Each structure stands twice: as C-alpha cells, then as structure tokens.
Structure 1
Amino acid sequence: MFDRLREDVRTARETDPAAKSSAEVLLYAGLHAVWAYRLAHWLWTRDSHFAARLVSQFTRFLTGVEIHPGADLGRRVFVDHGMGVVIGETAEVGDDVAMYHGVTLGGDDPRPVKRHPTVGDRVTLGANATLVGDITIGDDASVGAGAVVVDDVPPGATVVGNPAEVVDGDETEAAETADSVDEGREPEPVATDVDASATADDADGDANDDDEAAATPPEPPACCGAAGAS
C-alpha cells in the first residue's frame, strides 16, 4: 500500500511543473480524492456499498472530486486541481492518466449497464472535457479542454471541439504549406493544340516559299531580253 502512495506522490511531482516538493504534493486535493477512492472501492468490492458511498460523498465534500466507488481506476492516475471532476460508476480509467478540473466521465443510459467511458493508458483529459457514454478513448490519446466526446477516439489521436473531432497538426501544417507554395507559384504557359498547329503551318509555309523561290528562275534584265528578240 505504501508503495502505491509513494508512486502517486512521485507521479504528481512529475506531472505538475508547479510541484516544488513531496510535502507540497501531499496537500493536493486531487491526490486526496484518489486515495479516498481506493478505500471506497475496496469497500464497494466487498459489498459494503453504503460505507463506500459514505466515504465517496465525504470525499466529494472535502475535495470537490466525485469518484463513484464502483469505477475502476488504474495506477498513477493524477487529478490536477480536481474541482468539479465527476467519474461515474462503470467508468474504467487506465494507468498513467492525467485529468484536469471539470472533467466528466458521464453515462448516457438509465439502465444498470456499462454506460460510462473506458479510458486507456497514458491519456490526457483537458480541463472541462466531457466524455459521455460507453465509448473508448485509445491509449496515448489527448482530449482538448472543453471538448465533448461521444464517439470512440483512436489511440494516439487528439480530439477537440463540440462535438469532438480528431485533429492532426502535422498533416494540417503540411497542407497549409503546400497551399501557400502553390498560391505563390506562377502558372507555366501550356501550348494548346491550336497554337501548335498554327506554328507548324507557319513553318510549312516558310518552307514552301523557300522551295518556290529556288524553283523559279530569275527574270532576265530588260536589255538582254530586247537583244535576244531582235
């Protein structure tokens, strides 16, 4: 158990650049919420549902973070700031996940079924991101601040907006660069068939004129012609 506690403290220090010491990290509400969830989840899995919910609600009162005892959180989950975070009963969160204030893993089905998101390993959930329904967020994905996600997110993808859409910064930048180059380049002249035919006709005409000039002998001078006639 103490190994898990030290692991969580180390994760908080590595994830939060504002953390100056381990003692300071021990004051983090998000860290308290995760630790209290571990206790509540332990009680929940042993059918002590009332006691588990009591711990969960008391933790919500103290930290502003509400994690249902039935949710399944992996190792090294870090909740930064924490206020307003809500994680539903059937949510599944992988290892090394970082989430910021206002994140919601909500359900979309009134029946007691799998109705909350499944979040993979090493996922980042931005502030006020809302994930709804039985969807899957792939490993190493990132959800932008304020995004509303209602569909699966591929591994390694970044989604933003409402509704959230996948964005790829590298491809977008390359396309913009190509467009700017094309706009700055002057179009090269293209010879049409009509122009080519006209050029060929002109060349043939010049050649014919030269042939005719060579085939027709020059007229004799007037004086010579008069002498010969006489």
Structure 2
Amino acid sequence: MNVWIPGLIVVAVGLAAGLWFGLRGRSEAAGDGGTGPADADAAGAAGPRPSAPRRGGSGTELAPASSSRSAGLVGFLFGVGTCAIVGGLIYWATQGAKPRDEMAGGAPMAPMAQPTQMASGSGAPVDAATAHEASAELTPEVAAQLDQFRQQVQAAPQDLQARRQLTVALLNANLLMEAFEQARELQKVAPNDHDGMFVEGVVRLAMGQWPVAAQLMGNVLAQHPD
C-alpha cells in the first residue's frame, strides 16, 4: 500500500491544479463576456450595434467549455509536473544527506571483531568476511596444516613465528574472519609486525574499508620498501 501513496499524491495534486485552472478559465471567460452598467448606457445611447453573424450549429457555444477543458488539462499537467519535480528534489536531498560510514574509515573493525548475528537465528555474521569463509573449501592437506598451526599457537601464545604462520595460512585459505583475529592478536604482541598489518589490510580491503587498508599497506611498505 505504501508504494501507491506517492503516485496518489501526485495525481491528487494534478487534479487539484487542473480544477483550479479550469475554474479560473471559466471565471475569466465569464468576466470577458459580461457588460457593466456603463457599457449598457453607452450602448443605448449609441443605438443598437449590429450583431456578428453566428455560426451554424453549436460551435460558438462550445468555445467556452472547450477553453475550460484545455485550461483544466494544462493545470493537471502543471500540478503533476511540479509535484514530481519537488518530490524528486526531496528524494535526492535525503539520499545525499545519508552518512557513508563505509567510506569514512573510522573505527571500522568493531563489527568484524564482534560481528552482528542475523535475526533469523542462523548464527552467521552479516559481513563480507563471513561470506568468504562460507565459500572456502579446504583440502585435507590445508585443513591438517591449519590444525597443526592452531595447536602450536595454543601451546605457545607468545610464539610470534607460529602465529605469523597461522595468520598467513588462514588468509591463503580464504578464512578472513579468523585471519583478521589472529592478525590483531599478533599486533597486540608486536604492534608493528608487518605480517599482522598486511593481513589486516587485506581483510579490511575485502570489507570495502579502503582508506584504512591503504594506511596499513603504506605502513608495511614504509617498513619494507623492497
């Protein structure tokens, strides 16, 4: 029902404008055809005026009605056009005023670290990284290698080399969410770790957060220009 409301408003405005133009045209036609007292006295003093020959049929008497219909049609089109233009400008202004957080790059990774769950109860986070993980098909060799790296990290959480291997392997396996989490953990221990910044930058780029991803990649290149 809400879809028809804008169209009904446009038609209503057009009909109102057409009615107003039509009534205005009739009143103007009636005013032009009437004669005041001064005109009547002048006409009596000057004598009877010869009347113009009337055309046969009803052509002469239908002219005011035809003019009124034309004015009503013009008014309808004018009202519809004006309402459509104003509505389009309002829609354009409201769309242009919406904030574009995905291009701002401010504090973007909170939804990734704690992704929002879908209301349907499926438990799947609503983001691009989860879509990558859902489509990732691991071979038995890759799955075994990831399990080995996970066990090494679990046994020695402060082992940077083991966490780097796990982070890069997760990225290569297209498991972006887990790769991002490991990259963040890696940077907690080593804030300027180039592998952690690189993996985080790749995941942010996949999420569409280009400004932050470009900054991270710039930091990596600044540390390792070769």
Tell me which interval the TM-score lies in, with the shorter structure as reference length: under 0.3
Greater length-normalized contact order (CA 8 Å, ≥ 6 residues apart): 2
TM-score, structure 2 normalization? 0.20
Per the normalisation by structure 1, the TM-score is 0.20
